[in-house]
Amino acid sequence: MRRTENTLKANKGLRGYTLTRFHAYTPTRLHALTLIELVIVCAIIAVLAGIVWVVMAPAREKARQTVCISNLTQIGHAFRMYRDDWDGVEPQQGVQLEYWELGLPAGISIKWSLPYLKTAGVWACPSDRTFTPSPIRVSYIRSYCNHDECALLGYRYDYCHLLFVGFASFKVTVAKYPDFPIEFCKHHNYGLPKDWSDKVFFTINFPDFSVKRMRALESVLRFSQ
């Protein structure tokens, strides 16, 4: 009997000691974030995300420009091979030559280039945000005149809208400027005001179909002399 009482007293003392030590070292109150605290956390995350987006935007655009230049380079090679296959000649200063004499393809589609390219996807600029229902996106714009385009638009033959020149004769323009651009990309000016005059263009230029980066104001002055 005495042994049982001693055991109960010992257990009671042990329980008291354990509870006392537990409450001395354990927080007695836990709570979740309040609405104000949650809003502040979300605002901080949004601000940080905005900063990262602004800082990384130029790097992303630079990467898209690199892809665009690679696409235009491949298309330039296709132009060169097409000219060689059709015995075209290089433009010459003061000599007026038809587009077909220069070895440029007729028509208004890109079918002529498919035998010379690994994929038609190179005709799509990664910075082109316009929607097209066609399975093949064509982002690059022609800057020379041919029979089909003039007939489709109702223009007089050999007259069309040329980059940096305006509505003019193609053979007269190329005779004056043998390094004239024949294909260009205009999709790297997002974020600029609509009336911004000095835009950037990536172009495929005569006589070797090389790719160049051209600014509008400088090029307009050059091709208007």
Q: What is the pLDDT of residues 75-110, one digit of tens each?
A: 999 999 999 999 999 999 999 999 999 999 998 889
**Of the candidate ranges 48-57, 97-106, 124-133, 164-173, the one whose mean pLDDT is the lowest:** 48-57
Q: Is the pLDDT of residue 2 over 60?
A: no
Predicted confidence at residue 136, as pLDDT, reads 79
Q: How far is CA 188 from CA 67, 104, 110, in A?
A: 12, 26, 22
Predicted confidence at residue 54, as pLDDT, reads 67
Number of H helices, E strands in the chain: 5, 6
Residue 140 pLDDT level (bands cut at 50, 70, 90): very high
User: What average pLDDT score do residues 138-156 get?
Assistant: 91
Predicted confidence at residue 7, as pLDDT, reads 53
Q: Is the pLDDT of residue 30 over 80?
A: no
Residue 70 pLDDT level (bands cut at 50, 70, 90): very high
Predicted confidence at residue 17, as pLDDT, reads 46
Closest to 203 (Cα-Cα) out of 152, 141, 112: 141
Predicted confidence at residue 29, as pLDDT, reads 59
Predicted confidence at residue 185, as pLDDT, reads 96
Residue 16 pLDDT level (bands cut at 50, 70, 90): very low
pLDDT digits (tens, 9 = 90+) for 160-209: 999 999 999 999 999 999 999 999 999 998 877 878 888 999 999 999 99
**Structure-token pair, residue 178:** 């043998």
Calpha distance 29→156 (Å, rounded): 86
Residue 27 pLDDT level (bands cut at 50, 70, 90): low
Q: Indicate the DSSP class of residue 23.
A: H
Predicted confidence at residue 173, as pLDDT, reads 96
Q: Indicate the DSSP class of residue 124.
A: S
**Structure-token pair, residue 185:** 């990309």
Q: Please provide the average confidence, as pLDDT, over all residues in the chain.
A: 85
Please answer whether residues 75 and 123 qualify as being in contact, where contact means their C-beta atoms are separated by less than 8 angstroms.
yes
Q: Coil, strand or helix: which one is 81?
A: helix
Q: What residues does 214 pair with on adjacent strands?
A: 201
Q: What percent of the chain shows pLDDT beyond 70? A: 83
Q: Is the pLDDT of residue 116 over 70?
A: yes
Check residues 169 and 11 and name the one with the higher pLDDT: 169
Q: How many residues does the chain have?
A: 225
